[in-house]
Amino acid sequence: MAGRAGRKRKGDAVKRRHRFFLNPHNDKMVARCPVCNSSTKIQNHVLVVKLKPGQLLLMNVPCRACRECDLIIANRKKLEAAMADRLRQEAPELIGSDYAVAGTLDREDWMAVGSGALGPQEIKDRMYAFRDTWSFEL
């Protein structure tokens, strides 16, 4: 793929895409977008989760998405359960600690991390921060 080399530049402004909502309710509540009322679609996204001691966790999870609003909605309970599953093996002391969902990573970059080709600094360079984080009373 030509043109990808340009993404290796360091020190550029943070790349941003998508808006994000961490849904504390049942998924049925967001079958329609809370903003525009379009029906949402289920899409897998690779979420970049920041844990307190500067540790990153990549979570490939199904989310609800509204194309109109460029909004991704993750289910909080499911995300936290998936994170706990991962941390049980990697860092059990971090289960239940504070976290922030910071952005998303391209699927191909996520696969490169899985095969050991990308380290934490490359993840930070390649991730997309959210344009905005929203919350809604549903």
Binding site for Zn ion (CB under 5 A): 33, 35-36, 38, 66, 68-69
Rounded to an integer, what distance in angstroms lies between the CA atom of residue 82 and that of residue 121?
Answer: 24
Alpha-carbon distances, residue 107 vs 30, 53, 86, 124, 138 (angstroms): 24, 25, 18, 15, 31
- Rank residues 36 and 138 by Cβ distance to Zn ion and give the closer one: 36
DSSP state of 12: P
Minimal distance, residue 37 CB to Zn ion, in Å: 7
Minimal distance, residue 18 CB to Zn ion, in Å: 12
- Rank residues 68 and 108 by Cβ distance to Zn ion and give the closer one: 68
